[in-house]
Amino acid sequence: MKRFSYLRLVPGDVNGFLGLVVDNLSVLALLAAVLIGGFGIPAPIVFGRMFPGTALGVLVGDLVYTWLALRLARRTGRNDVTAMPFGLDTPSTIGMVLLVLGPAFLKFRAAGLDPMSAGLETWYLGMAATAIMGLLKFVMAFGGRTLRRLVPQAGLLGSLAGIALMLIGFFPMIELLQVPIVGFLTLGLVLYALVAKGAVPGGLPGVLFAVFVGTVAYYALGHWGVAGMSIASPTLPTLRLAFPHFDPRIAHGFAGVAATLPLIVPFALLTVIGGVNNTESARVAGDEYDVRSILLAEAAATLLAGLAGGVAQTTPYIGHPAYKQMGARAGYTLLTGLFIGLGGMFGYLSNLIELIPLAVLAPVLVFLSLNITVQAFSAVPLRHAPAVAISFFPSIARLLTIELSDSKFIAPERFAQLMGAAEHGLPALAVIVALGNGFIITATLWAAFVVEMTERRLRAAAAYLVAGGVLCCFGIIHSVRADGSAYALWELHGVARSVAGQFCIAYFVLAGAMWLLSLRSPEAGQSR
């Protein structure tokens, strides 16, 4: 097989490029909107300091993933290999913005620093946190293969499906329905092109056609004065080069990062597990990548992003089967890496974030979420479907936590009161928060437990429960803190200790029950 015969662009690469760019632009748009509009960090810090390094991580990761796809195509002699999608991690970026960067900026301002100085100190902290997450992922990458062998397929795919449907799909659905005429139109066109395989005028790629029609409709209706749609006034692109910053003041960030470790360690762990999940998803779709290579590339991209000024970690994305269904190969990751990386350095990403309506971009994410969910059920035996389904509950709880913790809906003081209010049993809000914290790991463990129990491997089921109990004791899963940070159980007091303690005991009690039941028949206790 000639090299250029695989690397040449195909229509599916254009569709895949648009979908992957939407993912990354959405994360960058969220980062900018909350930091600038929510916390008041000066725009030059966000666009000129944070964006370039963050985008550089995407560039490096997408280039490596493109090369891994080329290597797989050469080894297998296949011309239909689809590269693993790669970009900025959405859950941890939300966590970094709301739990690390924003509060740090407010603390620096309270200490008397002016906005620009406080913004710089916040940036240093974000850089340090991102670099440390990269180092942590380097260490954890060497356990990826073992994790993949131990966890059943339903556990890997089920956790992805829950994230996809509840988080990757739900929030974009709300976004597109906030501008229902344009959003629903674009969603229908995306589904027509990619699900129904309908013919698109002019032979254009389906996603490109849908985005074009939606954008034209948005600005046309905005011109006619329809509520909710307006024409932005873009600024001229500016040159913002990304390079490693060796200013001695960056040491301030590393000095203060210790307080964020309970947050960033779970962030790093979640993306490693997500990387294993996504590699399994790609294998089911027909492209078998080496888990360690995928995880090491992810770790390197995150580390380089942090050293170059980035404040968000990178990760392989969910949705490889959807991109494969689009007909994408490796061109879409190459294009995405160049587009996002150069856009962060030259400044045009900030202009696009202002110009492209989110209601037009969101339907692509909804399609990806539907595709991932369908695959999770279709790729496992029917008897394992309950294991996939039960893994949705932690993601639902995480969705509720995100919404309920928004001060637009519940005041922070009222939220704190509800965390400790109980009429019978444990406080309902505290249970929701605990179930949602660490949701990816929780979903994987729950699905794995149900699979092992279904297959009558009760001792293996008990082992998963014991692992859950241990992780619970340290707040890696079921953290009772609203920010999801880790802790040791004995550090807690009052209602928080009661909630955390009972969650931990529940795992160990059920593990003991599984072990006792395994004694009734030898075959029921066989391990994997």
First-to-final CA distance of the chain: 40
Pairwise CA distance, residues 123 & 355, whole Å = 26
**b/e sequence 354-389, b meaning 16+ C-beta within 10 Å:** eebbbbbbbbbbbbbbbbbbebbbebbeeebbbbbb
Q: Which residue has the higher pLDDT, 487 or 261?
A: 487
Percent of the chain at pLDDT exceeding 70: 91
- Per-residue pLDDT, 433: 92
Pairwise CA distance, residues 185 & 198, whole Å = 15
Q: Residue 375, SS3? A: helix
Is the predicted pLDDT of residue 387 greater than 50, yes or no? yes
Q: Could you tell me the pLDDT band of residue 240, with boundaries at 50, 70 and 90?
A: low
- Cβ–Cβ under 8 Å, residues 141 and 296: yes
- Per-residue pLDDT, 4: 46
Query: What single DSSP character describes residue 406?
Result: S
- Per-residue pLDDT, 2: 44
User: Rounded mean pLDDT of the chain?
Assistant: 85
- Per-residue pLDDT, 296: 94
Q: Which residues neighbour 63 within 8 Å (Cβ) at sequence distance 6 or greater?
A: 334, 337
Pairwise CA distance, residues 154 & 145, whole Å = 17
Q: Amino acid identity of 233?
A: S
- Cβ–Cβ under 8 Å, residues 143 and 431: no
Q: Which residue has the higher pLDDT, 1 or 521?
A: 521
- Per-residue pLDDT, 227: 62
Region of residue 330 (left: phi > 0; alpha: psi -120 to 50; beta: else): alpha
- Per-residue pLDDT, 247: 59
Mean pLDDT check: name the lowest of 32-41, 136-145, 229-238, 350-359: 229-238
Mean pLDDT check: name the lowest of 173-182, 280-289, 344-353: 344-353
Instruction: For residue range 436-446, list pLDDT tens digits in order.
Output: 988 888 988 99
Mean pLDDT check: name the lowest of 73-82, 138-147, 315-324, 338-347: 138-147
Mean pLDDT (whole number) for 445-469: 94
Comparing CA positions, the residue from 303, 331, 317, 334 lying closest to residue 57 is: 303
**Secondary element (H or E) of residue 316:** strand 314-316
Mean pLDDT (whole number) for 176-202: 89
- What angle do the packed helices 11-32 and 206-223 form, to 10 degrees? 50
What tokens were used for 527? 């391990």
- Per-residue pLDDT, 3: 45
Q: Residue 314, SS3? A: strand
CB atoms closer than 10 angstroms to residue 106: 15
Q: Widest CA span of the chain, in angstroms? A: 74
Query: What single DSSP character describes residue 456?
Result: T
What is the CA angle 446-447-451, rounded to 5? 120
Bridge partners for 315 per DSSP: 87
- Per-residue pLDDT, 133: 94
- Per-residue pLDDT, 191: 92
* Length of the chain counted residue by residue: 528
Mean pLDDT (whole number) for 191-220: 84
The tally of CA atoms less than 13 A away on the side-chain side of residue 74 is 10
- What angle do the packed helices 170-177 and 180-194 form, to 10 degrees? 130
Pairwise CA distance, residues 469 & 464, whole Å = 9
Bridge partners for 86 per DSSP: 316
